[in-house]
Amino acid sequence: MSIFFGASYVVTVQERPGGDVFEGVRRRIRTGRGRLRTAGADYLAYALIDSVVDGYFPVLESLGERLDELEAECITPESGVLVAQIQGLRRDLLTVRRAVWPTREALIAIQRDESKLVTPETRVFLRDCYDHAVEAIDIIETDRETASSVMEIYLATQNQRLNEVMKVLTVIATLFIPLTFIASIYGMNFEAMPELKSRWGYPGVLGLMALVAGSLIYYFKRRHWW
C-alpha cells in the first residue's frame, strides 16, 4: 500500500483489492468520532499508517501461537517431522519483517522531514506509531530467535531418540556376538571335538549361551548402559 498526501488530500493505492485494515478509520469518519474530520490531511495519513502498523500485531500473535504449539510438540515422544513446519514459520516471520521494516523507515523519514505538511501535533502521534513499529520488529526478532531455538531443540531431541535406538541395537548386537562365536565353533563338526559325542553336549552349549547372555545383561545393567 502507498500513501500520498498533501495539504488537503490523502490518496491511498493498494496492490490488492479488499481485505485492508482501514475499516476502523472509515467507521470513525462516518460517525465523526475523534479528530479525523477536524484535523488536517497529515492526521488522516497518520491514522491510516497507524492502522497498518496495528494490523501486524494480530498476525504476530497468530505466529506466536503457532510457535508455542511447535515448541510444545517438538519435545513429545510422538512428534513427527516438524522441520518443514518450523522452517515455514521462520519464512512467514521473515515475510512480516520485510513488510514492517519499510514502514518503520517511512515513519523515520516523515519525522525527520521538515515539511510544513506535517504539524507538530501530528509528529507526536507519528512518534507513537513509530514506537509500535519498533515493538513489532522486536517481537519478530524474538520469535525468529525462538524459532531457531525450537529447531535446535527438535534436532537435539531427534538425535537423542536416535541414540536411544542405537544403544538398544548395540546392546542386542553385543549379546549375540559371543553367542554367534560359540555357535560357529560347534558348527564346524570336527571329528575330534569331544562335545559332539557327549549326551549333554547340546543342552550344555545352550546353557553356556544362556550364561554368557545373562552375564552380559547383568554387566550392562550394573553399568547403567541398558
Asked if residue 79 has pLDDT above 70, the reply is: no
pLDDT in tens, 179-219: 888 888 877 777 777 777 777 778 888 888 899 888 888 88
pLDDT of amino acid 131: 92
Which domain, by its residues, includes 127?
Answer: 2-157
Give CA–CA dist 33/37, Å, rounded. 8
**Quick check: 141 pLDDT over 90?**
yes
Ramachandran region, residue 122 (left: φ > 0; alpha: ψ -120 to 50; beta: rest): alpha
Same domain (yes/no): 107, 7:
yes
Q: Are 137 and 80 in a shared domain?
A: yes
- Tell me the C-alpha to C-alpha distance, in Å, between residue 47 and each of 111, 129, 137: 15, 9, 20
Q: For residue range 26-78, list pLDDT tens digits in order.
A: 888 888 777 777 788 888 888 999 999 999 999 999 999 999 888 888 877 66
The three grid cell numbers given for residue 136, joined into one nine-digit string: 513489532
Q: What's the confidence (pLDDT) of residue 24?
A: 85
Q: Is the pLDDT of residue 226 over 70?
A: no
pLDDT at 120 over 80: yes
Q: Indicate whether 85 and 196 sit together in one domain.
A: no
CA-CA distance, 106 to 103, in Å (whole number)? 5
Give pLDDT, residue 80.
63
What is the per-residue pLDDT across 82-119, written as a single tens digit (0 to 9) for each? 788 888 888 999 999 998 888 888 888 887 767 788 88
Query: Nearest 5°: CA angle at 133, between 129 and 134?
Result: 115
> Interhelix angle for 41-73 vs 83-112, to 10°?
160
Separation of alpha carbons 34 and 47, rounded Å: 11
CATH number, position 104: 1.20.58.340
Query: What are the C-alpha distances in Å from 52 to residues 22, 55, 118, 177?
Result: 8, 5, 19, 69
Q: Please say whether the beta carbons of 210 and 201 come within 8 A.
A: no
**Consecutive H or E run containing 38:** none
Boundary-marking domain end, from 157, 187, 204: 157
Provide the domain count of the chain. 2
Rounded to whole angstroms, the Cα distance separating 201 from 215 reads: 21
Strands 10-13 and 2-5: antiparallel
Take residue 46 and report the three cell numbers written for it. 497518520
Name the one residue in this structure whose C-alpha cell is 521462520.
90
pLDDT attached to residue 135? 93
Q: 133 and 193 in one domain?
A: no
pLDDT at 62: 93
